[in-house]
Structure 1
Amino acid sequence: MKKLYALMAVSLCILQMAAAQVKSNLPISSKPGTKFDITKAQGDGFKAEYYNGSNFEQKVFTRIEKTIDFALYGRGPDPRIDPGYFSVRWTGKVYAPETGTYTFVFVADDGVRLWVNKKLVIDRWYLNRATAFTGQIALTGKQVHDLKIEYSQMKPSAAVARASWAFEKEPEQPFNPNYVFSSPEKLTPVATQKKTTPIAAANKKPVPPKTAPAKTEKKLIGEVKPVAKKVVSKPAEDDANDDVETPVSQKKETPKPVIEKPAPPEAETKKEAAPKEIFENLEAGKSIVLNHIFFDQSKHELRPESSEELDKLVNTLQKYPGMKIAITGHTDNVGDFNLNVQLSRDRAKSVADYLIAKGIASDRLEYKGFGGLYPVSPNNTEDNKKKNRRVEFAVK
């Protein structure tokens, strides 16, 4: 009987240890409030579910995507997908590095809905031209948050989907794939390992570690340690004074009195600040071409000589703090249509980023890219193509 009780006690102990092990391995969604060591986690991106039909009618496949970013025309994101009518659902958990307000941005053509922690932040479920939609929400830092995005292609035309976010007043940027997790199992909680002490060692009294006697430097009585001589470097003589002889017995000259010149009249010192240049004759919906901004071929980074024109736009927005504008990028018809749409959008975004860096609030700006859809001249000469490669803005 005693052996039976002992066996039962051992079994109970094993079950308790197994339960504790299972509990420590629970995913993040099962343990709210748990902090995570993001440096040890390896995000894999979003879980993407693709459907034929504009409203998730027929599921076709599921895959993991590092980013949400495509601009398509006349074709779908996969040969199995109907290019004119399809829908996508992206889900995952996103890690917020800091506590504060986050702005979620989604460029969509056509419809988009975006939830953060089951709260609807963006709701534009209808036909759209490529437009950047935004929504804000406060998030707690050092934690992960549920994110769900739905996209709908509602007619055979350009299909554009691009997701990004921004923290407080920092520039917008794509999601870092290392901070996005397709499932809770991909997360790595901060391990708090408890030190286990063997039963045999638990009964022993701790033995203090032996410390070696501190070494004392022996000093002989009357011993004098040599003192390092300080080397004082003489300043180098000025070449301009090489031909001037100074007598050894020369005494220091007494400084001559300094005669202060009278200050110029106040009218001469103060110059009137030139008025800041701004764009004039602005009308709602009227597009104005930014003629003096420059990019390298097939690049979206602004060249330094663009700053004068962009500062003029900054001055205009500062003078009219209630003004909101839409920035649009355009290309000629040379090359791949989808690449041109992406390039034109990136160039428009570069202009928006410049304005934000100068203190213009991001919610006053909207940027789009249309590629070669809206030329201002026929693409039959090089001069006309140059006119079509442009960035414009219009008051909303």
Structure 2
Amino acid sequence: MKILAAFSGLFLWLSLASAEAQQGLKGEYYTGTNFERKVFTRVDPQLNYNWRGRSPAPGLSKSYYSIRWTGKLLAPAFGEYRFYAKVDDGIRIWVGNKLVVNSWQLNDSKDFSGSIFLEEGHFYDLRIDYFNDMLEGEIYLYWQRPDARKTSLNPFNTPGDLITSQYLFQKAPPVRAPLPKTPLPAAPKPPVAVVKTPATVIPPTRVAQPISKPTLSPVSTKPVTTSAPISAPPLLKAEPEPVRVFEPGATVVLHKVQFEQSSYILLPESSTELDQLAIALKENPLWQLTIAGHTDNIGDPRLNLALSENRAKVVAAYLRRRGIADNRISTNGCGGTRPIANNDIETERRKNRRVEITLKNEKN
């Protein structure tokens, strides 16, 4: 009975989690171009619609309607996301309560875009307002993710992919404690047959004793036995990681904070120095932090500027995950405009690819 109850509880938990984390966005369909009267509600897996010459939903005509989609958006990676919308007519998009796209006017099948920095694994409130005036209603929602290795093109020849239901939810999946495990009953042990046999007398045997060979000492002529064990040399202990000391007022380089080449994905060895910085910030709650990203002068200056900005934002996101309040951190990117070494020599140029921090005491 206990096993049956455990399986029943597991089934109920999975059912509730599936219902609460239903994929897609809640779409509310209204008559009029400014949400005058709601006539229909449904769950839309993605926004990929062309309603030319037809009604988008029961109770609506081919013209003069508005739609509001709401739900949660899952960010699959750290970095800057660029959202695109191709619409006829008006569009507004909020991600995490930030308005990233706003063109609330008549548009003849045009593209609009906006950017926002998101953290990996987080769910963000998503709201899309849309209206169509006369005929030819259409809306397509797509994005360009920071972890895309190759630039993909959607049907409109714009970088990015349609946002599918894999990343759209009506609610964020619940975080639940794992169900207690019910131990299975132990299987009965098979009986062991005991067979009595007559005792056998084993005659005593003589064990040979080891004979230690004498060796001559280099100092004395007396024989010395080598029966004592030889001790191994002591193991060398690894040196502890030096603790970085941070003080307000100066701008310092985080030398161990490194990224993948031409990317803003943190390398694992960056964690030691960033964890020490997080500890220092927690111990000094009045400190404010400015993070600046820098690059060398190789490549397009505009891309270098964006790369430096995103690297600073990734460091800020790391510290927030370690408990540092967002209002204590500011970021900026300088691209290759502030070199500290010669860009003509690679060994020197890599010094320019850096992240700097400036600490300021709030009471000063």
Q: TM-score range by the shorter chain?
A: 0.3 to 0.5
Give me the TM-score of the superposition, normalised by structure 1.
0.39
TM-score normalised by the chain length of structure 2? 0.42
